Amino acid sequence: MLKRYQTAAYALVFLVLIAFLLGWKFMVARERPEDVAGYRKQIEVTAANVLSLPTSPESTDESLRIYGVNVVHTPPFKSMYIAYGIYLGDGAVLTAAHTLGKLSGYTNPRVLIAGQDLPAKVVKEGSVEKNDLALVSVDQERLPISLRMRRNPQCKDPLRLGTNVVVVYPERIAHSRVISPMLIPADLRSKFNTLIDESQVSGSGVFDAGRKCLLGIMSRRITKFAYQNENGLLTSRENGYAGYFVPVFRSSPFIPQQFRF
């Protein structure tokens, strides 16, 4: 009798597990139409970026979009999540660690690049609290030769206040400048001291506008303050958001040796 109950219990557990897995697959596969449309649009954008590569060696702000990619994953029971990253070369992509989610090993991250959806391997992954960077890789043999020959140079000189920057996405660029940490709350200045004047989307790349080298990867937004003198008293008020980026020149463990210029 006991053996019969054990067999029934095992069968019930097996059926529950099968139902759970089928439900998981069903929920993951059920993408919203707007998610599918956004996914297809980004595929087209990354394909167009390769086709529009400038023939002259001189780099322009718009030409930096060739390095912009999308990093995609589908969390369990949730819709597709499309984030951003920057292509370094040799199949390596740098993004913000938190864009991969908490289950990066189980959500099969992919990279949209050069009009393709390629499976990605997580090489190194930091954390939001310490070093919000992640390095993933794709099979570079599946990339067009025009992209395989490219290397994305990283800035090696110290960051300078007032530097004009270009924030790069696959579909667009945004212009900004490096600002002082004195414009954010005092308790955050030592930790988040690489800032630009506006908030940008996590995973996008911050490039020096003059030298066309990569400064870092956008991570988060932080409240910004404006100060003024009122009747001899220094007062402050909230003044939008600054964008914090993780600088690549302080993150050498995440940058493969061949890209450390």
Higher local confidence (pLDDT), 228 or 111: 111
Q: What is the chain's mean pLDDT, rounded?
A: 83
pLDDT digits (tens, 9 = 90+) for 134-169: 999 999 999 999 888 888 888 888 789 999 999 999
Higher local confidence (pLDDT), 5 or 52: 52
Instruction: Count the Cβ atoms, other than its own, within 10 Å of residue 198.
Output: 17
Alpha-helical (H) ranges within 30-55 are 33-51
pLDDT digits (tens, 9 = 90+) for 190-225: 999 999 999 999 999 999 999 999 999 999 999 998
CA distance 156 to 214: 9
CB 53, CB 29: distance < 8 Å: no
pTM here is 0.82
Instruction: Output phi, psi for 181, to 5 deg.
Output: -65, -15
Q: Vertex 260, ends 163 and 145: CA angle to 5°?
A: 100
Cα-based distances in Å from 204 to 100, 161, 243: 14, 20, 11
> At 240, which helix (H) or strand (E)?
strand 233-247
HSE-up of residue 176 (Cα within 13 Å, Cβ side): 23
- 32-148 in CATH: which number? 2.40.10.10
Amino acid identity at 97: A
pLDDT digits (tens, 9 = 90+) for 76-114: 667 788 999 999 999 999 999 999 877 666 668 999 999
Name, in order, each residue with C-beta under 8 angstroms of 3's C-beta and a sequence gap of 6 or more.
none
